């Protein structure tokens, strides 16, 4: 919202106040000032001049040669404006002066004729967009008079961030802003000049009926006759223009002026269109309606309308209708000053797709007590323009939904405690009274009446009062205070610790890179790759239709990253810990948990190697974090990117945890032919829940252990698990442990066999093993292995 400093000065004396400091303090106490612009400074040395004569330019059809009285001698000026005529008073920019976008004017020759200055349009003075002709000055000004003494060209325009005013309906006009400034600086807020409407009292009341009292709280109206052809005053036009509004017609300008001054939107109907009376009601069915901007609009149900007996004439609080617009020939108007409910106005405005200055204000919940004052102010300003207007009705005020007064009781100790500093009682009361709160002091207790312009939603409770006091006092003036807080042992977030530990291990030990991805599927990517998912959790209003499904697996997103990085990298390991969402159907509430997903991709390693890498990594993580061994079994999941053979389910103590898989060849070929990919996806919560248990310590033997490596011939069809299990069944008192060393499948082996090498560690707690002991062990192991089908290689 834009504000004019000149306008504010009507209501608060700003003498002696530094303008920059003023707006800094306003930002610190009230709302964020976005910009402070000093306007008019580029207009210099412009005076009133009287056009004495106008003759055509000999060489140009467009230009004319004029002689003007500059108050300081007669000057020849060449002028191209269509409206230049003898006898008018116009602004003259003298040589050495400047106007908008023309810094130093000098003597110029225009098509061979010398010109000693320039006659100006309003646009050239920076006070309008109108460049249709010279600005003709109405009034009896002496030539040579400084234009700035007639028109308020010099001003300071302040732009306030609208967002910081959302909770302050009272700040949507200059008067409310002036009140804040007065409170901040402890100055007086001057009253507005109003018409008492005395002479309207004996006139008949208007026929106004409000049917929807939930959407319309108050509707005040006044009919005025005998309106002549008016002219908006120059300074009013300039203020409107500086505040971002275009002058339209005197009556509309006046309603706009009033809205910018008080924050109260008003509407003037041509009273011929509302002779039959005013009915305020909501649409019961979709209705077509042409607003005064000439647009035919489809109004849905439940939009509040202003109607005459026959038809709608305005959309309440949003925009008037073309059918009842005031025209140049209008002599009788019905003035509307109403109070509409905020959220229904907002809803209607959203539904219709039309947001206006008026609706933006109503949305904030305006003060219902403003409607009558606004009419009084309007009449005062109208009378300034045309003193002899006549009231054709009495002020008719239908106040159907009364605002409940708000009283708040608060004590000084409570305020001090909440702030953490001590303020004097006087300071507190002064601030509240400056903001027009009524304060009744009884000892340390304040009984406060909230002014209606703050009582519509903004201020309802004690803490709101504290905010008023502290913000005007200045947050910067509050002395920071340390605080005692009882010591309490921390409850560490174990999940978070696990996450961080996993991330550290993966990145630091395995060289993996963490990525972040979106939590919804890219349906386009999935179908391009042939990836099928079963995401049941749907977004109602996605940015794009192909992003409407929340992921139930992180793998598809990772595969997209594999495709993306394939061009630049030939070997990479990516991971993410993120949420996945599952539900039986889109209507059901979803279950959500965090998964860990790792993707291993390589052009140099085989997919088998990648698979074993992932298996090794997760085994390591489980061991490092939880001292746990994981169980791997044949993969049972139905995910279509899982390889039918090269995949494995992971579980721990019977709880399924996830899987590892080489990416199915049908999908892999779509991503990149040469890139081998394997993925791992586990439920982080299951990993987290593993009980670390207590380490069972075993005293190391004092006698040396002996390490024996043996390779056995194993049928190709027999799995490692099987061999491992068979060895596990071999019993010997000497065997302290065994582990897998390597597998060999190359030349020199019998047909259909592979060679597996295991390492056996044997020892005794009582003695050093003799060679006889060792040989006896080896003999029985080899015999046993033969008996279960594995010959020594």
Partner 1 sequence: MIEKISILREAALEKIKQAASSSEVEELRVKLLGKKGELTEMLKDLKNMAIEERKQFGQEANELKNEITELLESKFKELSANDVKKSLSSGSSFDISLPGTQFKVGSLHPVTIVQKEIERIFTGMGFNIVDGPEAEEEFYNFEALNIPKHHPARDMQDTYWLENGSLLRTHTSPCQVRAMQKYGAPLKVIAPGRCFRNESTDASHENTFFQLEGMMIDKNVSIANLIYVMKLLLSEVFNRDVKIRLRPGFFPFVEPGFELDLNCMICGGKGCPTCKHSGWIELLPCGMVHPNVLRYGGIDPEEYTGFAFGLGLTRLAMMKYGISDIRVLNSGDLRAMEQFSVR
- Residues of this chain, 508-537, that bind partner 1 according to CB under 8 A: 508, 510-519, 537
DSSP 433-444: HHTT-EEEEETT
Nearest distance from C-beta of residue 499 to partner 1, angstroms: 9
Per the CB < 8 A criterion, the answer to whether 760 and 781 are in contact is yes
Nearest distance from C-beta of residue 473 to partner 1, angstroms: 10
Contact between 445 and partner 1 per CB under 8 A = no
Nearest distance from C-beta of residue 431 to partner 1, angstroms: 13
Contact between 786 and partner 1 per CB under 8 A = no
**Closer CB to partner 1, 103 or 511, in the complex:** 511
Q: Which stretch binds partner 1 (CB under 8 A): 308-316, 370-378, 571-579, 622-630?
A: 571-579
**Closer CB to partner 1, 268 or 679, in the complex:** 679
Nearest distance from C-beta of residue 602 to partner 1, angstroms: 12
Q: Which stretch binds partner 1 (CB under 8 A): 111-119, 215-223, 565-573, 636-644?
A: 565-573
**Closer CB to partner 1, 15 or 481, in the complex:** 481
**Closer CB to partner 1, 68 or 183, in the complex:** 183
Which H or E run contains 322? none
Q: Which of residues 298-337 bind partner 1 (CB under 8 A)?
A: none
Tokens 């399924």 found at: 656
**Residues 781, 789: Cα–Cα separation, whole Å:** 12
> Mapping DSSP to helix (H, G, I), strand (E, B) and coil, where does residue 720 land?
helix
**Residues 390, 372: Cα–Cα separation, whole Å:** 18
Nearest distance from C-beta of residue 34 to partner 1, angstroms: 9
Per the DSSP assignment, residues forming a β-bridge with 711 are 757
**Residues 625, 627: Cα–Cα separation, whole Å:** 6
Record the tokens describing residue 614, joined without a space.
Answer: 């992932």
Question: How many of the other CB atoms lie within 10 Å of CB of 646?
Answer: 18
Nearest distance from C-beta of residue 302 to partner 1, angstroms: 13
**Closer CB to partner 1, 569 or 784, in the complex:** 569
Per the CB < 8 A criterion, the answer to whether 114 and 76 are in contact is yes
Q: Which stretch binds partner 1 (CB under 8 A): 190-198, 208-216, 574-582, 647-655?
A: 574-582
**Residues 158, 177: Cα–Cα separation, whole Å:** 11
Nearest distance from C-beta of residue 482 to partner 1, angstroms: 6
- Considering only residues 39, 408, 439, 463, which one is a binding residue for partner 1 as defined by CB under 8 A? 463
**Closer CB to partner 1, 641 or 738, in the complex:** 641
Q: Which stretch binds partner 1 (CB under 8 A): 249-257, 271-279, 554-562, 648-656?
A: 554-562
Q: Which of residues 627-646 bind partner 1 (CB under 8 A)?
A: none
Contact between 471 and partner 1 per CB under 8 A = yes
Contact between 185 and partner 1 per CB under 8 A = no
Output Rg (C-alpha) for the chain, integer angstroms.
43
- Considering only residues 17, 28, 230, 708, which one is a binding residue for partner 1 as defined by CB under 8 A? 28
**Residues 94, 68: Cα–Cα separation, whole Å:** 11
> Mapping DSSP to helix (H, G, I), strand (E, B) and coil, where does residue 634 land?
strand
Per the CB < 8 A criterion, the answer to whether 120 and 134 are in contact is yes
Nearest to 477 by CA among 17, 28, 24: 28
**Residues 310, 621: Cα–Cα separation, whole Å:** 78
- Considering only residues 20, 107, 425, 500, which one is a binding residue for partner 1 as defined by CB under 8 A? 500
What backbone torsions phi and psi does residue 114 show, to the nearest 5 degrees?
-75, 145
Nearest distance from C-beta of residue 69 to partner 1, angstroms: 46
Q: Cα torsion at 505, 509, 512, 517 (round to 10°)?
A: 10
Q: Which of residues 359-378 bind partner 1 (CB under 8 A)?
A: 363
Nearest distance from C-beta of residue 362 to partner 1, angstroms: 12
- Considering only residues 123, 538, 615, 759, which one is a binding residue for partner 1 as defined by CB under 8 A? 538
Nearest to 267 by CA among 316, 232, 340, 228: 316
Contact between 491 and partner 1 per CB under 8 A = yes
**Residues 266, 257: Cα–Cα separation, whole Å:** 10
Nearest distance from C-beta of residue 575 to partner 1, angstroms: 9
Contact between 564 and partner 1 per CB under 8 A = yes
Q: Which stretch binds partner 1 (CB under 8 A): 1-9, 342-350, 635-643, 756-764?
A: 342-350
Residues in the interface with partner 1 (CB under 8 A) total 90
Nearest distance from C-beta of residue 156 to partner 1, angstroms: 17
Nearest distance from C-beta of residue 500 to partner 1, angstroms: 6
Tokens 């000032």 found at: 33
Tokens 């002064």 found at: 430
**Strands 118-119 and 216-225: what pairing?**
unpaired
**Residues 346, 92: Cα–Cα separation, whole Å:** 48
The 134-163 site mask, x for binding partner 1 (CB under 8 A), equals: -----------------------------x
Q: Which of residues 32-61 bind partner 1 (CB under 8 A)?
A: 32
The 210-249 site mask, x for binding partner 1 (CB under 8 A), equals: ----------------------------------------
What backbone torsions phi and psi does residue 697 show, to the nearest 5 degrees?
-80, 140
**Residues 732, 450: Cα–Cα separation, whole Å:** 90
Nearest distance from C-beta of residue 459 to partner 1, angstroms: 10
**Closer CB to partner 1, 20 or 298, in the complex:** 20
Nearest distance from C-beta of residue 457 to partner 1, angstroms: 10
Contact between 542 and partner 1 per CB under 8 A = yes
**Residues 263, 257: Cα–Cα separation, whole Å:** 9
For residue 121, with 0-12 CB atoms within 10 Å meaning exposed, 13-18 middle and 19 or more buried, which class applies? Answer: buried
**DSSP collapsed to 3 states, 120-187:** CCCHHHCCCCCCCCCCCCCCCCCCCCEHHHCCCCCEEEEEECHHHHCCCHHHCCHHHHHHHHHHHHCC
- Considering only residues 29, 70, 652, 676, which one is a binding residue for partner 1 as defined by CB under 8 A? 29
DSSP state for residue 744 in the 8-state scheme: E
> Mapping DSSP to helix (H, G, I), strand (E, B) and coil, where does residue 495 land?
helix
- Considering only residues 13, 159, 397, 495, which one is a binding residue for partner 1 as defined by CB under 8 A? 495
Nearest distance from C-beta of residue 162 to partner 1, angstroms: 11
Q: Which of residues 699-728 bind partner 1 (CB under 8 A)?
A: none
**Closer CB to partner 1, 12 or 598, in the complex:** 598
Nearest to 667 by CA among 509, 525, 511: 525
Contact between 427 and partner 1 per CB under 8 A = no
> Mapping DSSP to helix (H, G, I), strand (E, B) and coil, where does residue 373 land?
helix
The 592-631 site mask, x for binding partner 1 (CB under 8 A), equals: x---------------------------------------
Nearest to 124 by CA among 151, 86, 159: 151
Q: Which of residues 407-426 bind partner 1 (CB under 8 A)?
A: 417-421
**Closer CB to partner 1, 261 or 563, in the complex:** 563
> Mapping DSSP to helix (H, G, I), strand (E, B) and coil, where does residue 365 land?
coil
Contact between 493 and partner 1 per CB under 8 A = yes
**Residues 481, 485: Cα–Cα separation, whole Å:** 12
Nearest distance from C-beta of residue 358 to partner 1, angstroms: 16
Nearest distance from C-beta of residue 737 to partner 1, angstroms: 29
Nearest distance from C-beta of residue 289 to partner 1, angstroms: 23
| Side-chain-facing half-sphere of 704: CA atoms under 13 Å | 7
**Closer CB to partner 1, 484 or 772, in the complex:** 484
- Considering only residues 10, 17, 27, 95, which one is a binding residue for partner 1 as defined by CB under 8 A? 27
């Amino acid at each position: 919202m834009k504000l004019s400093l000149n306008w504010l000065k009507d209501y608060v004396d700003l003498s002696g106040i530094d303008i920059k400091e003023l707006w800094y303090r306003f930002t610190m106490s009230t709302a964020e000032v976005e910009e402070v612009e000093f306007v008019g400074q580029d207009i210099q040395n412009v005076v009133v001049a009287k056009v004495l004569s106008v003759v055509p330019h000999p060489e140009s059809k467009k230009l004319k040669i004029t002689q003007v009285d500059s108050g300081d001698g007669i000057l020849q000026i060449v002028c191209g404006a269509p409206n230049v005529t003898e006898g008018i008073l116009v602004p003259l920019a003298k040589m050495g002066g400047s106007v908008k976008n023309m810094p130093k004017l000098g003597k110029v020759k225009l098509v061979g004729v010398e010109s000693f200055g320039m006659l100006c349009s309003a646009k050239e003075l920076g006070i309008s967009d109108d460049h249709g002709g010279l600005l003709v000055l109405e009034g009896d000004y002496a030539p040579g008079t400084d234009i700035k003494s007639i028109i308020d060209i010099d001003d300071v325009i302040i732009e306030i961030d609208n967002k910081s005013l959302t909770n302050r309906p009272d700040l949507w006009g200059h008067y409310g802003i002036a009140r804040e400034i007065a409170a901040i600086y402890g100055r007086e807020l001057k009253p507005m000049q109003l018409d008492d409407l005395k002479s309207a009292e004996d006139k008949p009341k208007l026929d106004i009926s409000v049917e929807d009292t939930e959407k319309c709280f108050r509707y005040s109206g006044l009919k005025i006759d005998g309106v002549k052809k008016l002219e908006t005053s120059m300074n009013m036009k300039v203020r409107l223009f500086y505040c971002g509004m275009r002058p339209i017609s005197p009556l509309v300008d006046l309603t706009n002026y009033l809205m910018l001054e008080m924050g109260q939107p008003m509407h003037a109907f041509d009273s011929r269109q509302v002779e039959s009376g005013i009915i305020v009601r909501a649409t019961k069915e979709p209705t077509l309606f042409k607003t005064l901007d000439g647009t035919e609009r489809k109004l849905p149900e439940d939009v509040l309308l202003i109607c005459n007996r026959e038809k709608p004439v305005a959309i309440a609080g949003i925009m008037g209708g073309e059918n009842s617009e005031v025209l140049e020939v209008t002599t009788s108007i019905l003035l509307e000053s109403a109070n509409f409910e905020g959220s229904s106005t907002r809803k209607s405005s959203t539904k219709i797709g039309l947001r206006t200055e008026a609706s933006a204000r109503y949305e904030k919940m305006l003060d219902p007590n403003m409607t009558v004052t606004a009419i009084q102010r309007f009449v005062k300003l109208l009378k300034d323009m045309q003193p002899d207007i006549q009231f054709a009705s009495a002020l008719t005020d239908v106040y159907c939904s009364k605002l409940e007064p708000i009283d708040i009781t608060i004590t000084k100790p409570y305020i001090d405690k909440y702030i953490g500093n001590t303020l004097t009682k006087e300071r507190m009361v002064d601030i509240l009274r400056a903001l027009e709160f009524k304060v009744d002091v009884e000892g340390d207790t304040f009984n406060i009446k909230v002014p209606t312009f703050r009582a519509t939603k903004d201020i309802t409770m004690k803490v709101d009062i504290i905010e008023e006091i502290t913000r005007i006092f200045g947050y910067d003036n509050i002395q920071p205070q340390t605080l005692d807080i009882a010591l309490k042992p921390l409850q560490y977030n174990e999940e978070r610790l696990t996450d961080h530990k996993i991330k550290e291990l993966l990145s630091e030990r395995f060289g993996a890179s963490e990525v972040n991805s979106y939590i919804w599927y890219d349906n386009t990517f999935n179908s391009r790759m042939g990836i099928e998912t079963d995401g049941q959790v749907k977004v109602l209003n996605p940015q794009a239709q192909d992003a409407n499904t929340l992921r139930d697996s992180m793998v598809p997103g990772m595969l997209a990253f594999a495709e993306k990085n394939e061009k630049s990298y030939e070997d990479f390991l990516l991971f993410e810990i993120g949420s996945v969402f599952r539900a039986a159907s889109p209507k059901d509430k979803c279950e959500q948990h965090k998964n860990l997903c790792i993707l291993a991709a390589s052009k140099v390693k085989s997919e088998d190697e990648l698979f074993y890498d992932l298996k090794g990594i997760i085994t390591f993580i489980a061991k490092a974090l939880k001292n746990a061994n994981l169980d791997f079994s044949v993969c049972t999941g139905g995910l279509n990117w899982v390889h039918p053979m090269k995949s494995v389910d992971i579980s721990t103590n019977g709880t399924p945890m996830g899987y590892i898989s080489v990416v199915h060849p049908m999908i892999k070929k779509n991503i990149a032919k040469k890139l081998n990919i394997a993925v791992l996806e586990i439920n982080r919560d299951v990993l987290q829940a593993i009980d670390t248990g207590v380490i069972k310590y075993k005293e190391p033997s004092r006698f040396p252990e002996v390490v024996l490596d043996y390779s056995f011939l194993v049928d190709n069809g027999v799995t490692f698990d099987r061999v491992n299990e068979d060895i596990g069944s071999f019993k010997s008192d000497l065997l302290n442990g065994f582990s897998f060393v390597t597998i060999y499948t190359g030349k020199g082996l019998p047909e259909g066999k592979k060679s597996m090498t295991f390492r056996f560690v044997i020892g005794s707690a009582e003695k050093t093993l003799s060679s006889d002991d060792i040989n006896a062990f080896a003999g029985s192991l080899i015999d046993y292995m033969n008996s279960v089908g594995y010959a020594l290689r």
